[in-house]
Every structure is written in structure tokens, then in C-alpha cells.
Amino acid sequence: MSESDGIAIERTIAGDGEGFRVLVERYSQLVFRLAYRMTGSEADAEDVVQETFLRAYRAISTYDGRAGFTTWIYRIATNYTLDLLDKRRRRAEQPPPQRIDQEQQEWEFPTAAPGPDRLAEGSQLHRRLHLAMAQLTPQERSAFVLRHFEELPIEEISEALSLGPSATRHSIFRAVQKLRRSLAPFVSSEL
């Protein structure tokens, strides 16, 4: 019998760890995908998955069912990822990313840039995509990932990011605009 999220949540709150196991096993891939797209790093995405579920477990008694469990877990994952990226950016204390059409600075992105393992392999398009995503601000990247890949409606993205609907729409637009600029020459020649 496939247990519903509702029952798994109730079991967790009642002290039954097996209830939480159901949620972890059901949503781990989803959180990993989201985190990887936001950070561009497998190690960071793994960290986000672990921390997201730890936070979810501690806060599960506050889950009131107004938003779907997916939205709730996305919100926790997104908030943690944004904190992670913010801390890393401050620690790096580097200037904002430069335009990628300046060839000499092409691989120098201080925040959420793919690790050396990802840069060493994969097609040029994939490398470009990672770099283009790294050009987005964390808020733009989160809004874009939630809309484009996870296909959440604006209302749920607003809820997950604690943003107004207009700001959410604008973040998605800015993300697409930046991606277009970054990828335009490459996309037109590739496709």
C-alpha cells in the first residue's frame, strides 16, 4: 500500500521515524535535482538534500497543509540553498561575475560555478549552460528553476521564495533574459 504524504507526516509527528523515511525516500531525488540546478555542484546538492530533510524533520509539526508538501520542502531547500550561496559569495569577496562574451574571463565565476569535474567533461553547450546559470542571481536562479524545471505555478514559487507574485514574475523574466544574452550566439549556431 502506497502511503500518502498526509499519513507519513502524521506518523512522523506521532514519533514514528518510519513515517519520515517514506518522505525522505519519496522526495530525495526531487530535492537533489532542484539543489543541483541551483548550485551546479553535486557536493553542494548532496549537502542541501541532507540539511533540507533535517530541517524538515525538526519543523514538521509546523506544517499546516495549506501548501502541498512539495512546495513546503522546496521552500526549505530553496532557503537553505540561498543561504549557502550567500555565505559562499560573502566568503569569496569577489566582484560580481563578468559577461561571458569576454573570453579571458569565461571560467571565472565565484558563485555556484560548476566544479572542475564538471568543467573537464561534457559538451561545450553543457559548459555554457552551467556558466549561464551561474550568471543569474540566486533569486533569479531559484525562481527560474522552480518555474522552468519543476513547473510550479507563480503562486507556489512566490510562497516558496517568500516573494510577491510580481517580483517572482520579474525574477523569472530577468533569468530568461540573461540566459538569452549568455547563450544567444551559441544557441543560434548549435540549433
Number of residues in the chain: 191
**What does the per-residue mask of binding to another protein show for 58-97, with x meaning CB under 8 A?**
------xx--------------------------------
Closest approach of another protein to the CB of residue 15, in Å: 4
Distance CA 134, CA 121 (A): 17
The region of 80-88, 104-112, 134-142, 174-182 touching another protein under the rule CB under 8 A is 174-182
Selected range binding another protein among 70-78, 89-97, 105-113, 183-191, rule: CB under 8 A: 183-191
Q: Which of 67, 119, 167, 187 binds another protein (CB under 8 A)?
A: 187
- # residues contacting another protein (CB under 8 A): 63
Q: How far is CA 125 from the centre of its chain?
A: 20
Site membership for another protein, residue 55 (CB under 8 A): no
Q: Please, are residues 132 and 179 in contact by the beta-carbon 8 Å criterion?
A: yes
Nearest to 101 by CA among 180, 179, 174, 181: 181
Dist CA 76 CA 52 (whole Å) = 6
Contact present, 174 and 166 (Cβ < 8 Å): no
| Residue 99 lies near another protein (rule: CB under 8 A) | no
Residue with cell 532557503: 79
For residues 31, 86, 57, 20, the Cα torsion angle rounded to the nearest 10 degrees is: 10
Task: Identify the burial level of 124 via C-beta atoms within 10 angstroms of its C-beta, where 0-12 means exposed, 13-18 middle and 19 or more buried.
Answer: exposed
- The region of 2-10, 75-83, 85-93, 100-108 touching another protein under the rule CB under 8 A is 2-10
Residue 119 within binding range of another protein, rule CB under 8 A: no
Q: Which stretch binds another protein (CB under 8 A): 50-58, 85-93, 94-102, 134-142?
A: 50-58
Q: Which of 54, 8, 38 is nearest to 136 (CA)?
A: 38
Residue 120 as a binder of another protein (CB under 8 A): the answer is no
Q: Residue 113: what are its φ and ψ, rounded to 5°?
A: -70, 150
Q: Residues in the site for another protein, rule: CB under 8 A? A: 1-7, 9-18, 20-21, 24-29, 32-33, 36-37, 42, 49-50, 53-54, 57, 64-65, 122, 125-126, 129-130, 132-133, 147-148, 153-154, 169-170, 172-173, 176-177, 179-180, 183-184, 186-188, 190-191
